[in-house]
Structure 1
Amino acid sequence: MVAVMLSGTFLVVMNATMISPAFPAIMAEMGVDASTVQWMASGYALVEAVVIPLNAFFLGRLTTRRLFIGGMALFAVGALVAAVSASFPVLLAGRMMQAVGTGLCMPTVMTLIVLTFPRERRGSAMGVVGLIISFAPAIGPSLAGVLIDTVGWHMVFTLVTLLAVAIAIAAHVTLRNQEGFQPTDLDLPSIPLLLAGMLSLLYGLSSAASAQSKLVPVGLVALGIVLLALFARRQLSLERPLLRVQVLANRRYRTALLIMGTLMAALVGSEVVAPIFVQQVMGQSATASGLLLLPGAVLGAFSGLFAGRLFDRVGIRKPAVAGAIGLAIGAAGVFSFSPTMPIIELALVYTVIFLGIQFLSTPLNTWGLNALDQEEVPHANALSSTMTQVGLSVGSVLMGSLVSLGPAVAPAGALPLDVVFAGVHLAYAGMAALLFLAVIAILALVRTTRADREAQQAVGAAASQDAAQRGRSAALKVADLMNADPRTVSAEASVRDVIVALQEAQSVGIPLVDGEERPVGYVSDGDLLRYLARQNDRFTDGMSVLAIADSSDLSERLTSLLSLDAMKLASTGMLTVEASADAEEGFRRLAEHRVKKLVVVEGGRLVGTLSRRNVMGAMFSLEDRLTQVARAAE
């Protein structure tokens, strides 16, 4: 069942990026320009932006099994319609059906995965899911490019159809239904306001290049802005809005959201322009245009993980500046593009841009969300998901429109190839402008707060004091401070036994030991609380963020917890320290790993525990003991 759900997730995420290498072939076969063909990307993102927030409503009225299978079936039908289409309107209709199916399947799959895994295994499961989602967008264009060059772009949709049908059939056989979702209200007027506002805005932008009268696109843009303003005003008056826009009042979250929207617009814009430039101007294959994006997408997934850890250690400013420098270098490299440039140079510039965007994504999102109260985070996640899709739509429309301006900006009598390149060059200039705008915003607005600086200064001061004491404390051992008679629990015990031991010992954590007193696990009060608390998970594919709420009842979680084997909840990778180690080593591990207790071992056997309480209890006598140690050393 899990394999079926992960396959469905991978397919719908990969499908979102598979179509871009086919743009030149579709333009040639169906006689449409870049501003029209880009609707296959912008319309897809727009429909997702509208459908995803409705998932809670559907979960409360349909079974999860029916919702997933129905969404995958609709996705397959849309792919089939696109595969057999002979005109662009039919092709676009099939693509939009796929988007609806994706909007139904993605949140449902995430919810099912969250509910399928036991709470004690959920963290590792979510890591696997996140990794799969991160790599799907990288594989899509490369696979599509090979198919387009060998059997044509129709086969891309044919393959997706077959895979979607296989997943739907497998889901019908293996997928079990999850119940317990409460029906929620849905404000129907909000949906057409959001959809009509975005369509009007995007169509106005896309038609600006080809409209005979500029009044029409200007009027459509103005109408879109008015409708979106009415949508936002309505959300403010609803008790349960479709999107809780009140979180935008927070300046830091708003700044992060706008910067990420700008970056997403530049990212998808680059993906729209790349196949046109590589295939029509440079004369390369669809495979080459698909592989062009692969290095940046793969390396970007890893850079996002590194940046998230760096943010935890040093705050936002250093990762933000590093990412901004990468963006500036990539944006400057855009202006070196020419029809005769080596494709390896083009791939290098794209890799730098992708690395910069992915490097900034996790720190910026986290920085913005950290400024909100905990109860506001799920609403902010939902708004971020929608606004990311809006940014993708706007970027696609903007770049497609700029490419279509080629005849207007090319010199008179220019060759057709030069006309196309003039539009492509203008689009790349627009993409560079978006990147430079993001760089300026990051350097001016994204800063470590005073509270963050004070915390880092406190850490630095503590580190300086530790260094001053290092020479005197070398002879003070962990064994001198540890609790030599700690309470332990057998590895075969239940969580109920652990809770009893925690209460009797008035401790924050209990080691689990085997028959030879070797530590094999550790259960803390934090592990128990995390199991009992609602677990609201977030997922990202490097572009959008999806929030999944935990709908289980507290009594269900408590009953499950008490009957659980302790080892299923325990952390098996517990932190240990040798009894003969310097006391400072114990202090360092307690501080750096932010844990409350260490397991002290000797010869592999548990001989004690060292907790913060042990250190605090000895604090007043510690200076005297260090003085004695220093005198003895003299």
Structure 2
Amino acid sequence: MPASKSMATDIKAVPVIIAFVVAGFIGLFSETALNMALNSLIVTLGITETTAHWLTTGYLLTLGILVPVSGLILQWFTTRQLFVASLIFSIIGTFVAAIASTFAILMVARVIQAIGTALLLPLMFNTILLIIPPYKRGRVMGIIGLVIMFAPAVGPTLSGIILANLTWNWIFWISLPLLVGALLFGLIYMQNVSTPTKPKIDIFSLILSTIGFGGIVYGFSSSGEGWGSPVVLSTIIIGAIALTIFGFRQVKMEQPMLNLRAFQYPMFTLGLVMVVITMMVILSSMILLPLYLQTSLALTTFAAGLLLLPGGIINGFLSPVMGGLFDKFGPKYLVISGFTLVTGSMFGFSTITMQTASWTIILLHIVMMIGVSMVMMPAQTNGLNQLPPELYPDGTAIMNTLQQVAGAIGTAIAISILSTSTQSFLSTMEDPSSPTNQVLAFTEGVQSSFVFAIVFAIIGLVLSFFIKRVMVEQES
């Protein structure tokens, strides 16, 4: 789905990027902001903790099913059509969530919101690849990285302020006018950057993709029931089998739904692995740290959000800077330095106790987020730069899909280790029901979970020595 050069030169890139940045920020903010309201939802809606987590699982599941299909969708509809559709889904979902009075209605709203996000994220990356020349992509992708990392980072803090003064519905009421504004801005300034080719749709591939990615995400997201649960094991196994068949089918098709030829490009594959590892590390950390701060250090939700805010802000502002450095110097030393910082911070987090000072947590979190800013966009942009334009939709679909899968897997493994280690520690105590022992056991579980993160960070560090800059044409 390459855009012609004449079309690309006629595109006013800045308004297009602004439209995506605003829409993406609000969409990702409302996703993480709701996570901080789960306790309030359990009380207000009269649901269990397991039921409440379906608001997150359902969102991830919808993304896991739709994002792999985005490569096909991008080739069937114009940029404006998809942008407007994504915002309409987001607006409808946000409005339904704002007026929801039961869990069922809120669950439906979350699925509708996820459809909007599943359309927007791949479209955003694909559009950037088409309208921004390779030698400028680092800085622009860094701006996109600011949105992707900054929105989830400020979500918990802002939702803490909202929940301290208003009900959880206001998380959505506040987001709604901003989404409407993004839609109106997009209707004025969004331009079509590609010509739809409308390739043949293979229904069997769609079914395999849905079962495969949906099964993997659902299985790992449901692992809180225990890894021995028949539901968890069966969905992961069925998903893996479906994905294997899906992969073989795509390779043999003349017009595959998801073109796996992207994996023939070594820097794309290496960049993808690094992005997946980083997502696993950061998302497992983002669920462990709030739990640790609220349980081990007995901080309020708002205080915990404030402690994690500096790292998120610094990461957001550094993303465009790292993008500029990538454009100038390439990815190698950025990525190596980034994984070194991430690995060091994971070692630090693996030693935290009930007596650890708040400033230590803030410092370690800042170091981790600086490292993440040095890895994510340079590795991702370098990998996508190696693809020919006709593989841009497939490359962005693969990148976004595996990030969602990695998030589900990393979070599930971290929580599983946390739970297992906590129970193991309590089994050695004479009085396991003691509140002090329970907090000690929980802290031990957090430490063990960060050891898991260390392993993946080290793997990423080793791989970073093999990254090479993809040479691109400079401005003549």
Give TM-score, length-normalised by structure 1. 0.60
Q: Aligned pairs, how many? A: 451
Please tell me whether residue 291 in structure 1 is matched to residue 310 in structure 2: no
Residue aligning to 1:98: 113
| Identical pairs, percent | 23
Letter in 1 for 2:409: V
Please tell me whether residue 9 in structure 1 is matched to residue 24 in structure 2: yes
Residue aligning to 1:258: 273
* Contact persistence 2:418–2:445 (CA under 8 A): yes
Distance 1:212 1:437 in 2: 21
Encode CA deviations 1:594-624: one digit per residue, 9 max, x unaligned.
xxxxxxxxxxxxxxxxxxxxxxxxxxxxxxx
Letter in 2 for 1:130: I
* Contact persistence 1:327–1:357 (CA under 8 A): yes
Residue aligning to 1:436: 455
* Contact persistence 1:273–1:424 (CA under 8 A): no
2:414 to 396, 399, 418: 399
**SS of the residue 2:209 aligns to:** helix
Cα deviation, residue 226, structure 1: 0.9
Distance 2:20 2:327 in 1: 31
**SS of the residue 1:189 aligns to:** helix
Distance 2:330 2:452 in 1: 27
Q: 1:313 to 1:6 in 2, by over 3 A?
A: closer
* Contact persistence 1:281–1:417 (CA under 8 A): no
Residue aligning to 2:397: 382
* Contact persistence 1:207–1:401 (CA under 8 A): no
Structure 1 window deviating more from structure 2 (90-99 vs 210-219): it is 210-219
Equivalent runs, 1:2-401 vs 2, <5 Å = 6-26=21-41, 30-33=46-49, 37-41=52-56, 43-55=58-70, 57-58=72-73, 65=80, 67-86=82-101, 88-107=103-122, 126=140, 130=144, 133=147, 135-168=150-183, 174=188, 178=192, 180-211=195-226, 214-250=229-265, 252-308=267-323, 317-366=332-381, 368-369=383-384, 379-401=394-416
Q: 1:197 to 1:56 in 2, by over 3 A?
A: closer
Cα deviation, residue 151, structure 1: 1.4
Equivalent runs, 1:446-461 vs 2, <5 Å = 446-447=465-466
Distance 2:186 2:330 in 1: 43
* Contact persistence 1:208–1:401 (CA under 8 A): yes
Encode CA deviations 1:155-197: one digit per residue, 9 max, x unaligned.
212322343345446666x467749534333333323322322
Distance 1:98 1:256 in 2: 29
Letter in 1 for 2:339: A
Distance 1:88 1:366 in 2: 40
**SS of the residue 1:152 aligns to:** coil
Letter in 2 for 1:95: R
**SS of the residue 1:181 aligns to:** coil
* Contact persistence 1:297–1:354 (CA under 8 A): yes
Cα deviation, residue 97, structure 1: 1.4
Q: Which structure has the higher relative contact order (CA within 8 Å, separation 6+)?
A: 2
Letter in 1 for 2:245: L
* Contact persistence 1:46–1:393 (CA under 8 A): no
Cα deviation, residue 356, structure 1: 1.6
Name structure 2 gaps, 5 residues minimum: 1-14
Letter in 2 for 1:189: F
* Contact persistence 1:46–1:390 (CA under 8 A): no
Q: 1:146 to 1:198 in 2, by over 3 A?
A: same
**SS of the residue 2:285 aligns to:** helix
**SS of the residue 1:8 aligns to:** helix
Q: 1:371 to 1:127 in 2, by over 3 A?
A: closer
Name structure 1 gaps, 5 residues minimum: 456-524, 529-634
Distance 2:107 2:93 in 1: 9
Q: 1:431 to 1:82 in 2, by over 3 A?
A: farther
* Contact persistence 1:49–1:386 (CA under 8 A): yes
**SS of the residue 1:338 aligns to:** coil
Encode CA deviations 1:470-523: one digit per residue, 9 max, x unaligned.
xxxxxxxxxxxxxxxxxxxxxxxxxxxxxxxxxxxxxxxxxxxxxxxxxxxxxx
**SS of the residue 1:293 aligns to:** helix
Q: 1:401 to 1:262 in 2, by over 3 A?
A: same
Between Structure 1 and Structure 2, which shows a larger proportion of helix residues? 2
